[in-house]
Amino acid sequence: MQFAQRFGPWAVVTGASSGIGEAVARQLASKGLDLVLVARRADRLSALSAQLHAQGGQCRVVALDLTGDAACEQLVEHTSDLDVGLLVHAAGFGLGGPHLDRPLHQHLEMLDLNCRSTVELVHAFLPGLQRRGRGGIALVGSILGFHGVPWSAHYAATKAFVVSLAEGLQVEAAPHGVDVSVHAPGPTRTGFFERASMQAGSAADPHSVAGHIVRRLRSRRVVLTDWLGWLIRLSTSTAPRWLRVRIVGQVMRGMTHHR
């Protein structure tokens, strides 16, 4: 089955105003899909929409904060007239540094976006995909979502939630013809580190990561999206879990010590 036939005609991409989400949107458009672009920043979404429209694609801009009350219901209303074949949930953010250095409201905002919105979007779009008998959901996790991570404890926990949820849904959705994939990037050159108050040395290009995500939409396992993620995973794979936590914690401490 051709890509556009399986995952089109419309794809919903969250976090589409920058970083991995924007890069995924561009790559899906190049494969002939029409796009619903979702993020908070309407100006960036409109600029991206204009570029993709000039290349022959259709776009619908939905400027929406997914942490807000009834945000998912609003997105469903904006897409109710479309035949959506793919959901890519790339919206999310992280917090770095000692857990208690951040006020509770920031932790709850991250929990809402990284976890609650994921559950809401799955409930909103998976039933329609299963009725179609084809399509996909791609969730963006993190290389940090495989065990506890000191100095990024809550962020890692939210991404562990995403990975676990996707692994279960992969089995449940497969008999209905729906591919649920979860993608775990390593450090990537986006606005993530600035918002998380972290510094990174080596980082992957978001367009490279996006290309890997789009190529592996049918993968029914956790997908590492770049060489750096593979290197991090491989270098700790033989260590016991408690030691992996401490090794990665030392790395994270070095990335946040400037705060």
Which residues does the annotation mark as catalytic? 155, 159
* Among 2, 4, 7, 1, CA closest to 217: 7
Place of tokens 């905002």: 109
> Is beta strand 59-63 parallel, antiparallel or unpaired with respect to 178-184?
unpaired
In this structure, how many other beta carbons lie within 10 angstroms of the beta carbon of residue 147?
13
